[in-house]
Structure 1
Amino acid sequence: MNAGRHVDLRDLAERIRSIEKRHGAPAEDRCIDPPAREMISTGWAEIDAALGGGLPAGGLHEFFGVEEAGPREAAAPPARGSLPLWTPPLCFLIHLAWQALDRDAACPWVVWIGARCHPYPRALVRGRPPDRRLLERSLFVAPRDAAERLWAIDLALRSAAVAAVVADGGALDRAATQRVQLLAKNRSKVVFAARPPWERTRLSAAQTRWHVRAAPPRIGKKAGGVAPGWSVELLRCKGVRPAQDHRAWLLEQSRDEGLIHLSARLADLAGAPAAREPRAPDRLSRRL
């Protein structure tokens, strides 16, 4: 055996799967890594189907927010001495926190770690009549730096009363994300981490990685009725390979209920080639 030859196990698994397919062997599933035993539904059937049932209940999931610092390239870090301005996708994270809370009544608490990820209290109330459970079962922690945030995440994951952790994941390195991922998996806890867009190129052990951006709002018929929308792109999903045409979705929030739904109108807009509307590039480009 040639000791100098590198063998990629994932590549080998895909080659074996390809050979089995050519010879008519039944496909077990689309997984390369062992699938998660427990899943958390996102609340959106199309996204759940693409993920193989939902988000793994024990793991770290990262969501890259939107930059507010001007024309600088989103992939580049902020200049030394400048204030990094970015907005975490809080509406999206609040929705997922509700999903985690609804899934496990035995774990009644959601811990929000990092002031950047602290939502307005009213945003934690949904529906009519108002459902205040998430507001009443939220704990807010304000660490001073990334090291303290990591310590707080670790502590929260070790608590049997915690259903989910929503954290500012900015500046966490590969070793830190691996520590969080392993602990979350062992404890069957879920961590939703918001990160700035320029950290997309950083190595991470997260189970899934997403990019959430603002989409053009729909103006309602009622006075002042504006339905916010988001473009959600799946950047990576360990264990499951979604189809290429199921990596991006558009979501819309109901002003009356405060709930977020898949939007057929926005999905049509997202699926259309840019060349279909050559006369109105500015309207489509103003996503923020």
Structure 2
Amino acid sequence: MIDSPASLADLRGLVAEMEGRVQGRGKGVSTGHRGLDAAGVVRGRVHELFGDGGSGAAAGFAALMALCAAEDAPVVWLRTDAAARRAPLYGPGLAALGLDPAACIVAQAPDEAALIAAAADALRVAALGAIIAESVGRTRVFGLTGTRKLTLAAEASGVPLFLLRLDAEAAPSAAETRWHIAAAPSQALAADAPGHPAFDVELLRRRAGPAGMRWRVEWDRDARVFREAPLSGAMVSVAPGGAAGARRAHGVA
């Protein structure tokens, strides 16, 4: 059988796109915010995002980081059954952030072990833009063994994986970076319109560089970038024991 020139051109284009994504492994994700861009969020790696499952801030930040990394390629959002029961994904809410629900593939796994297996399978698809794997509560499966498996798969394809850990405790892992995300007050726009989504972001750990930095950022949906949030005058509450106490209060070591 002789393929048509159009079919061959489509195939070459697909192969070139996949090769480009694989060659982009280790390339930094561009967020528009200098601090976040320098913090080590790169493609082809695993990144842990911790947060309070009740606020939705960590999930929103994960969606936005995946959007920045994907560059219009599909995003896969994997969730355990427990995470899906706790907070169903809301399509219009994702669209309001700028993430097209039609370009987001959502799947559920019965437990964390199945979640890791599904994430490892998804990471083999180099044409994907980013993967989010969401779980809730304490679990041991995201230790060194589980995250090493995911890291090897991510490095092979060049696809970044964001492990969204809600109401969880951190443990030693092979993740490239570890973050804690919390909601921050937003500034109202003209005519008292709702302000941009804002986040308090802390880099807890980074394999290849310093950590401990904090930023308050807001998301500009139109420009699809993070920006430094304007000073709000609001005080960020800190648990007893300072920053370390605050992390313990949120279940993050």
Q: Does structure 2 conserve the Cα–Cα contact (< 8 Å) formed by 1:65 and 1:211?
A: yes
Match of 2:33 among 34, 44, 60: 44
- The one-letter code matched in structure 1 to 2:133 is A
Match of 2:51 in 1: 65
Change (3 A) 1:236 1:267: farther
1:195 aligns with 2:165: yes
SS in 2 for 1:199: coil
Match of 1:91 in 2: 60
Match of 1:178 among 107, 132, 148: 148
Match of 2:115 in 1: 149
Question: In 1, Cα distance between the equivalents of 2:67 and 2:53?
Answer: 26
Q: Does structure 1 conserve the Cα–Cα contact (< 8 Å) formed by 2:134 and 2:164?
A: yes
Match of 1:14 in 2: none
- The one-letter code matched in structure 1 to 2:199 is W
SS in 2 for 1:89: helix
Match of 2:79 in 1: 114
Deviation digits for residues 33-66 of structure 1, max 9, x if unmatched?
xxx74222233123213x2xx5121111011011
Match of 2:200 among 231, 236, 244: 231
Question: In 2, Cα distance between the equivalents of 1:96 and 1:48?
Answer: 11
Matched length: 205
State the identity %.
27
- The one-letter code matched in structure 2 to 1:191 is L
Match of 1:10 in 2: none
- The one-letter code matched in structure 2 to 1:111 is V
Question: In 2, Cα distance between the equivalents of 1:98 and 1:67?
Answer: 20
Change (3 A) 1:137 1:226: closer
Q: Highest CA radius of gyration, 1 or 2?
A: 1
After TM superposition, give the deviation of residue 234 of structure 1 in Å: 0.2
Give the TM-score normalised by structure 2: 0.69
Deviation digits for residues 167-210 of structure 1, max 9, x if unmatched?
1144333111121112112221100111024412x222111000
Question: In 1, Cα distance between the equivalents of 2:226 and 2:31?
Answer: 10
Deviation digits for residues 227-263 of structure 1, max 9, x if unmatched?
4421000001111225x6xx10001245x74956323
Give the TM-score normalised by structure 1: 0.61
Q: Does structure 1 conserve the Cα–Cα contact (< 8 Å) formed by 2:70 and 2:128?
A: no
Uncovered stretches (5+) of structure 2, i.e. residues with no partner = 1-24, 239-253
Question: In 1, Cα distance between the equivalents of 2:31 and 2:222?
Answer: 17
Where in structure 2 are the equivalents of 1:25-40 lying within 5 Å?
A: 37-40=26-29
Question: In 2, Cα distance between the equivalents of 1:221 and 1:249?
Answer: 24
- The one-letter code matched in structure 1 to 2:198 is G
Uncovered stretches (5+) of structure 1, i.e. residues with no partner = 1-35, 69-85, 275-288
Match of 2:131 among 147, 165, 183: 165
